[in-house]
């Protein structure tokens, strides 16, 4: 009679490949999170209760806290704003400008931009942050 115990099979999980999977997931989410943000210029938008989305031909004009102007994420000089808008709107059917201004800027800065839009007969829509 053989009273030896049979060797039990011990289940093991190979964890060496889990490190690779976690690294690729981290890399994937980092890349997706940077692509998901439409504008990487840091602007603190004013808040509003009612919001609407704009789907027509739009041009993004961003003005940050230090009054740096960006037209479609390209830096421009404020003096050349009209020429840059004319170049951006050529060939577009009913273009509109989405204005992203920092909340710390003055009303005069807003009025100056609205005057340019009124002079060029271009609709300007102000982007705000929704209040939840």
Instruction: Please tell me the pTM assigned to this model.
Output: 0.58
Q: Mean pLDDT lowest for which of 54-63, 89-98, 115-124?
A: 54-63
Q: What are the φ/ψ torsions at residue 128 (nearest 5 degrees)? A: -130, 170
- Structure-token pair, residue 75: 């830096």
Is the distance from CB of 70 to CB of 61 less than 8 angstroms? yes
Residue 97 CB neighbour total at 10 angstroms: 24
| Domains of the chain and CATH, by start | 47-130 (3.30.420.270)
- Structure-token pair, residue 28: 């994937």
- Distance, CA of 104 to CA of 1 (rounded, Å): 90
Assign 61 to helix, strand or coil: strand
pLDDT, one tens digit per residue, over 25-84 is 999 988 887 776 655 666 666 677 776 665 567 888 999 889 899 998 899 998 898 899
């Amino acid at each position: 009679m053989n009273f030896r115990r049979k060797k039990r099979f011990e289940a093991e999980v190979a964890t060496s490949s889990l490190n690779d999977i976690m690294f690729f997931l981290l890399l994937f989410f980092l890349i997706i999170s940077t692509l998901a943000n439409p504008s990487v210029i840091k602007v603190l938008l004013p808040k509003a209760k009612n919001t609407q989305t704009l789907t027509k031909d739009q041009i993004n004009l961003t003005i940050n806290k230090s009054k740096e102007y960006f037209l479609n994420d390209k830096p421009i000089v404020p003096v050349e704003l009209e020429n840059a808008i004319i170049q951006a709107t050529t060939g577009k059917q009913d273009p509109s400008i989405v204005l992203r201004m920092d909340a710390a800027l003055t009303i005069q800065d807003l009025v100056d931009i609205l005057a340019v839009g009124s002079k060029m007969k271009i609709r300007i829509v102000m982007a705000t942050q929704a209040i939840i």
